[in-house]
Each structure stands twice: as C-alpha cells, then as structure tokens.
C-alpha cells in the first residue's frame, strides 16, 4: 500500500533532517509517490526549494511546519503540532501557514500576549526601544535618538 510522506524534515531542520529537498523529492518520485510534504521544525526554511524540487520530480508538494507549543507564558515547550497546507485556493493555505509561523515567532509580553511589531502603541510603550524618546516631553520636542545603535 502506497501512502504520501507528509511529515518529513529536510537538511534545513538541524539535527532532525539530513536530506536536501531535492533528494527527498527524488526519493519520493522513485517510490511512486504522488505527494510529498515538508515539515521543517519551527519554520518554512526549505519550502521554496521543496516546491521547485517536487515540481521538477513530478510530485505534488505539500508544505507544512512542525511547531513547538509553549505554555501560556511562552517560557516552556509543552508539545508540538504539525500544520500542513496544499496548493489550492490561490495560495490561501500557504498564506495562512506563513501567518501562523510568523505568529509563533512573534514577541510576547510578560503575560503571554502576542505583540504586534507594526502596532504603533507597542512602539510607544515606555519599555520599547522607541518608548523613552517617543514619550518624553511635548510632541516633537524629544531630542533622543530612536536608533538603538546610535547614542542619544
């Protein structure tokens, strides 16, 4: 009985995979597989090369990620989850997968709340790198540098 390998790790997953996406796709094609998933750990590191290699080998690529699940405070890994997306709906599944991986890597507040790096309120928080310069004195009067690499 043939089945597709949907959970595989490439050489982009250090300590978990040793084969390149091209080697994985060639092996799947040689075994008559119609689909091949790539679920690198905690990211989509080999995704582009996986898609190209699968298409070249005549295998349908399936993209995914094996993500760590953290406790509510984000301090301890309590498990893992594999997320998969196949290329239908004009890339909607891939877009959702990218959003989930991005959210998994997003900075968190002390209470575990995900911080949006594009939220201006987060940039103006007194604890942020821009906070002290953005909140001192009347609007526009601050002379402190907003760059963390340049002294004020």
pLDDT digits (tens, 9 = 90+) for 74-126: 778 899 999 998 766 677 888 899 988 988 887 776 666 666 656 655 555 55
| Bridge partner residues of 63 (DSSP) | 38, 85
CA-CA-CA-CA torsion sign (98, 77, 24, 85): negative
Tokens representing 122 are 């987060």
Tens digits of residue pLDDT in 93-106: 888 999 889 888 87
Residue whose tokens read 């690198």: 40
Q: Mean of the pLDDT values across residues 65-80?
A: 85
Worst-scoring range by mean pLDDT, 31-35, 57-61, 84-88, 135-139? 135-139
**Residue 148 pLDDT > 90, yes or no?**
no
CB within 8 A of 96, min separation 6: which ones?
85
pLDDT for the residue 25: 98
d(Cα 108, Cα 94) in Å, to the nearest integer? 24
Query: What is the mean pLDDT of the segment spanning 137-152?
Result: 44
Mean pLDDT of 18-41: 96
**Mean pLDDT for the stretch of residues 122-151:** 48
Distances in whole angstroms, Cα of residue 99 to Cα of each of 44, 52, 104, 143 = 11, 22, 9, 37
Say which CATH architecture domain 21-110 belongs to.
Answer: Alpha-Beta Barrel (3.20)
pTM over 0.85: no
Sheet of 60-70, strand order:
35-41, 60-70, 77-86
* Structure confidence at residue 149 (pLDDT): 42
- Residue closest to 38 by CA, chosen among 48, 144, 80: 48
Answer yes or no: is pLDDT of 5 > 80: yes
Q: What are the extents of the domains in the chain?
A: 21-110, 116-152
Contact 60, 35 (CB under 8 A): yes
For residues 98 and 18, give the distance between their C-alpha atoms in angstroms, rounded to a whole number. Answer: 24
């Amino acid at each position: 009985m043939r089945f597709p390998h949907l959970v595989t790790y490439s050489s982009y997953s250090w300590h978990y995979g040793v084969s390149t996406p091209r080697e994985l796709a060639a092996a799947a094609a040689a075994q008559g597989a119609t689909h091949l998933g790539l679920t690198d750990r905690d990211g989509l590191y080999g995704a582009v090369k996986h898609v190209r290699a699968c298409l070249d080998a005549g295998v349908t690529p399936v993209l995914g990620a094996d993500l760590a699940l953290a406790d509510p405070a984000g301090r301890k890994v309590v498990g893992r989850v594999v997320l998969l997306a196949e290329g239908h709906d004009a890339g909607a599944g891939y877009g959702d997968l990218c959003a989930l991986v991005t959210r998994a890597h997003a900075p968190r507040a002390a209470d575990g709340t995900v911080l949006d790096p594009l939220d201006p309120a987060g940039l103006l928080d007194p604890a942020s790198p821009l906070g002290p310069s953005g909140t001192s004195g009347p609007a526009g009067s601050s002379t402190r540098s907003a760059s963390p690499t340049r002294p004020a």
